[in-house]
Structure 1
Amino acid sequence: MSHALTFPVPSAVGSLDQYIQSVNRIPLLTEKEESDLARSLRDEGDVEAARKLVLSHLRVVVAIARGYLGYGLPHSDLIQEGNVGLMKAVKRFDPDRGVRLVSFAIHWIKAEIHEYIVKNWRLVKIATTKAQRKLFFNLRSMRRSSNTLQGDEVIAMAEHLGVKPEEVREMETRLSGGDVALEAGPDDDEERFAPIAYLADPHAEPSEVIAQRQYAHLQDEGLHTALAKLDDRSRTIVQRRWLADGEAATLHELAAEYGVSAERIRQIEAKAMQKMRSQLAELA
């Protein structure tokens, strides 16, 4: 089945702003166009139909990802994860259910973004159950004000989300608390003490220190060995993404440098990390 629709493809290179402008220029599908494309994909496995369905909904992913910027993760990475959810939704979409793709896709887009945030946000350590994840993503929106939650609010929220009141209080503390630098910054007053100056180390016994240093040395050698097993491109991507001294490179930045899509960079990264884990396991 052929389709007369033409779609401008977002460039694989360029800045995030250029990408967003590009996807916002892609025309929306009418209900009939969407239905025809979805049936072509479902009945004939038409890859081109799938591409058009995905492209026409990229702006939806951008809008949803923008709502999660408060968690401190790169907007481009949130968009990339949301795009994965969109592709899963397109694959599973049934036009005969009587709903538009956008309504069906929102769940899959948010699910992928939620999973990414939970895996990467440094403060989320208790969000391991479905109820706790629901608490994590709903606590801010359910609060009546920016003030500390009162007893009745805590109880009501706990009952609504199916968690314990103490879990609500702990999550609120995690979300409202800021990071404290372990060491004083270069501009801090000389007399100011950072935690590094007064926090005791219960494992500072000399033999343990030596053992830990030997273990760290072996781990460092193992990392270098694992990196050496990668091809040049994979090694550079892993180093830029996870081992950079400064700010880590985003998927879109690397995609622009290599002239490929952000999804391709993500695939290379995942394959490289899997290969490194196997190599480190052999050295353990």
Structure 2
Amino acid sequence: MTTSLAFPVPSALGSLDQYIQTANRFPLLTEEQEMALARRLRDEQDLDAARQMVMSHLRLVISVARNYVGYGLPQGDLIQEGNIGLMKAVKRFDPDRGVRLVSFAIHWIKAEIHEYILKNWRQVKIATTKAQRKLFFNLRSMRADSSTLTPGEVSKVAETLGVKPEEVREMETRFSGGDIALELGPEENEEGRVAPIAYLADSRNEPTERLEARKRDRLQSEGLETALEALDERSRTIVRRRWLADDEAATLHELAAEYGVSAERIRQIEAKALQKMKGTLAAYL
């Protein structure tokens, strides 16, 4: 027989403080209750069991989210993202692994919060690789103040985090930089200033550029094949292996050994073939 614990469905809350107070009033689960609920979710797909497991750990999300308020993002948003991580953890929790949900869920909660911070802390992503993410979430706490790290401090941070010193210096540079608005505000426009967007225009879609691009594409595909077909087999093979090889290009001496001629003779054949291809391409275009 399954019974539901004292986890009422929360009504709409008017403020973050009310949410936190409500979340802290939900009872904690004993190990036996937690395992029973987890088995109900796993074996019977019991969504009420999942709800009770999530509710009992909302205070954990709040506690983790408080550690990231220094990034200038709304605490409510951090908690919301952490709750997503908590729900993912509950869904994947295996009661037979011998660990409590709190130990398993904290990694999922942090992962979701980290992802949210990295996407929203700056308009341009400041950390993309695993090493950069590690630096992002540790460098702020390891710096004594906002001043530039000394070479000794850079080496110490790099050794502690297991990264290269140049990676520490690069991340410090990213921290010190800021986002720049592409468009100017009304007052700035009145001052006669030019917005960055004015000189960041992409000319690739300009009509003449597009025509030139099509011409280059034709030259590199159809035209090149037409020019190669105009050569005799030996000349075609030499040009392909010298200039169009997918891997390392063949040397004059390697081709000379294959054809039983001198390297100078291969060079002459190559030069004549390229000259003929040039004429064919000119006629093709």
TM-score class, shorter: 0.5 to 0.7
Q: TM-score, normalised by structure 2?
A: 0.61
AA of the residue aligned to 1:154: V
The aligned counterpart of 2:214 is none
Secondary structure of the structure 2 residue equivalent to 1:116 = helix
The aligned counterpart of 2:129 is 129
The aligned counterpart of 2:45 is 45
Task: Tell me how many residue pairs correspond in the alignment.
Answer: 210
Q: Which has the larger radius of gyration?
A: 2
Q: TM-score, normalised by structure 1?
A: 0.61
The aligned counterpart of 1:174 is 174
Indicate the structure whose relative CO is greater, using CA pairs within 8 Å and at least 6 residues apart: 1
Q: Deviation of residue 162 (structure 1)?
A: 4.3
Q: Is the 8 A contact 1:135 1:168 kept in 2?
A: yes
AA of the residue aligned to 1:136: F
Q: Is the 8 A contact 1:131 1:163 kept in 2?
A: yes
CA distance in 2, matches of 1:90, 1:138: 27
Q: Which ranges of 4 or more aligned residues in structure 1 deviate by more than 3 Å?
A: 144-147, 159-164, 176-188, 193-196, 198-205
Q: Deviation of residue 71 (structure 1)?
A: 1.7
AA of the residue aligned to 1:56: S
* Sequence identity percentage: 72
Q: Deviation of residue 73 (structure 1)?
A: 1.7
Secondary structure of the structure 2 residue equivalent to 1:90 = helix
The aligned counterpart of 1:151 is 151
User: What are the residue-to-residue correspondences of 1:15-54 with 2, within 5 Å?
Assistant: 15-54=15-54
User: What are the residue-to-residue correspondences of 1:184-199 with 2, within 5 Å?
Assistant: none
Cα shift readout 1:75-96 (whole Å, capped 9, x = no counterpart): 2211111111001101111222
CA distance in 1, matches of 2:75, 2:200: 40
Q: Deviation of residue 53 (structure 1)?
A: 0.1
Greater shift after overlay, 157-166 or 92-101? Answer: 157-166
AA of the residue aligned to 2:150: Q
Q: Is the 8 A contact 1:123 1:174 kept in 2?
A: no
Cα shift readout 1:231-252 (whole Å, capped 9, x = no counterpart): xxxxxxxxxxxxxxxxxxxxxx
In structure 2, list runs of 5 or more residues that go unmatched: 207-285
Q: Is the 8 A contact 2:158 2:164 kept in 1?
A: yes
User: What are the residue-to-residue correspondences of 1:76-91 with 2, within 5 Å?
Assistant: 76-91=76-91
Cα gap change, 1:129 to 1:66, in 2 (>3 Å): same
CA distance in 1, matches of 2:89, 2:200: 50
The aligned counterpart of 1:114 is 114
Q: Deviation of residue 178 (structure 1)?
A: 5.6
Q: Is the 8 A contact 1:118 1:124 kept in 2?
A: no
Secondary structure of the structure 2 residue equivalent to 1:12 = coil
CA distance in 1, matches of 2:155, 2:123: 23
Q: Is the 8 A contact 2:124 2:179 kept in 1?
A: no
